[in-house]
Structure 1
């Protein structure tokens, strides 16, 4: 069904824009100031703040738990918070594990209610050109690297790593095993000097991914996108004197009190306190080209 969302106060990060959205075939067909000449059904969103549905990182989904345990986990940690897409990963310690672990996690996520992206998490000892090429063949969109010491970083042949990455260029994201400032500084210096696709900082679990992180991994604009061509996945938060001046991260933290509606690919999965659970509605999100889209600076 085609319809128009009028008076939408769309918030993305710290920026808000007031637009009308034309929805056709569960996609945002167009956004503009108004659609006066259209005869479609209209929904007035003036009493809400609208955000894209969130994308969260979770390294340890309860994939081997019972159905009821998984259901409770997805509801409490994702759906009730307005998240419809999860970034997770397989933990790899040996190169030969990659293909088999990817098959296992795909099977385990068949009944997932959320859309999902799968990366890998490895120790620095596994960061070799051969492993990078295997990740490229599997279209792994992000590699989380457990970084424990400066000496580990200096022993890696970074030039070969960069060569092996091309042209897929999945980013390296650090997981610092301690809070040594020198370790973080050296990581950043190496990433800059070799010009590797990477992030300088860790990505926090259970918090909405920033847009620049999603762009680097290739999640945006496929997900968390309320622009022309984007899927119909969004949140409506109550608009009042308190929330009207909040940024997106603040709204997320207050989800229990002001999140009213969550839409996932055209299907309402939350309406007030009523939450729907649809096992298997989630889909694997294949990232064909990380960092393909970059916002203008």
Structure 2
């Protein structure tokens, strides 16, 4: 069924834009100032702040817990917070583990209610040309690197790593094992010197991934996207004197109580206090090319 969302106050990051959205099937067919000549059913969104659904990082999904424990975890940590996509990872310590561990996590996520993206988490000793090529074959969109010391970073043949990454170019993301600022500066210097696809900072768990991170990994524009052609997944927050002035991250952290509606791929999974749990509704999000889309701002 086609319908129009009118007077939508769409908030993306720090920018808000008032538009009308034409919905056809489970896709946003078009967005513009108005659709006056259309006779479709109309929904007035003037009382809400509309955002894309959030994407959160979580390294510790309860994959081996009971169904009831998993359900409670997904509801409290994701669905009730307006998150419909999770970025997670498998931890690898030996090259030969990669394929089998990825198969295991795929099986464990078959009943997941969220869409999911799977990366890998490794010690620096695994940053070799051979391992990178294996990640490329498995379409691993992000490699989290546990950084312990400067000596480890200096030993890595970064030129070979870069060569092995091409053309898939999945980004390297640091996980610093200690708060040494010099170690963080060295990571940045290494990434800049070798011109490697990477993030300069750690990614915070349980907090919405910002646009630059989503683009770098390749999750955007597939997810967290309210653009023409994007899927119908969004949040409605109650608009009041406070929320209308907030950026997207503030709505998540300070005004989660104002979240009233969550739509996931055309299905309402939250309406007020009523939350719908759909085991297996989540899908694996395959990233064909990380960093393929990068906005100018």
Category of TM-score, reference length = shorter chain: over 0.9
Query: After superposition, what is the alpha-carbon deviation per residue over 1:58-103, rounded to whole angstroms, capped at 9, x for unaligned?
Result: 0010000000000000000000000000000001011000000000
Deviation at 1:255, TM superposition (A): 4.5
Deviation at 1:25, TM superposition (A): 1.3
In the alignment, the residues of structure 1 paired with residue 250 and residue 194 of structure 2 have an alpha-carbon distance, to the nearest angstrom, of 36
The corresponding residue for 1:86 is 86
In the alignment, the residues of structure 2 paired with residue 14 and residue 159 of structure 1 have an alpha-carbon distance, to the nearest angstrom, of 37
The corresponding residue for 1:142 is 142
Deviation at 1:254, TM superposition (A): 3.2
Residues matched between the structures, number: 297
Given that 2:122 and 2:145 are in contact with CA atoms closer than 8 Å, whether structure 1 keeps it comes out as yes
Given that 1:129 and 1:164 are in contact with CA atoms closer than 8 Å, whether structure 2 keeps it comes out as yes
Gaps in structure 1 of 5+ consecutive residues? none
- Note the 1:15-26 alignment, pairs <5 A: 15-26=15-26
Deviation at 1:256, TM superposition (A): 3.7
Quote the RMSD (CA, aligned, Å): 0.6
Query: After superposition, what is the alpha-carbon deviation per residue over 1:165-222, rounded to whole angstroms, capped at 9, x for unaligned?
Result: 0000000000000010100000000100100000000000000000000000000000
Given that 1:113 and 1:277 are in contact with CA atoms closer than 8 Å, whether structure 2 keeps it comes out as yes
1:41 lines up with 2:37 in the alignment: no
In the alignment, the residues of structure 1 paired with residue 254 and residue 187 of structure 2 have an alpha-carbon distance, to the nearest angstrom, of 34
1:111 lines up with 2:111 in the alignment: yes
The corresponding residue for 1:229 is 229
Gaps in structure 2 of 5+ consecutive residues? none
Query: After superposition, what is the alpha-carbon deviation per residue over 1:128-180, rounded to whole angstroms, capped at 9, x for unaligned?
Result: 00000000000000000000000000000000000000000000000000010
Provide runs of 4+ in structure 1 moved above 2 Å.
Answer: none
Deviates more, 1:256-265 or 1:104-113: 256-265
1:211 lines up with 2:231 in the alignment: no
Normalised by the length of structure 1, the TM-score is: 0.99
Deviates more, 1:71-80 or 1:255-264: 255-264
Query: After superposition, what is the alpha-carbon deviation per residue over 1:222-279, rounded to whole angstroms, capped at 9, x for unaligned?
Result: 0000010100000000001111101111100134420000000000000001100000
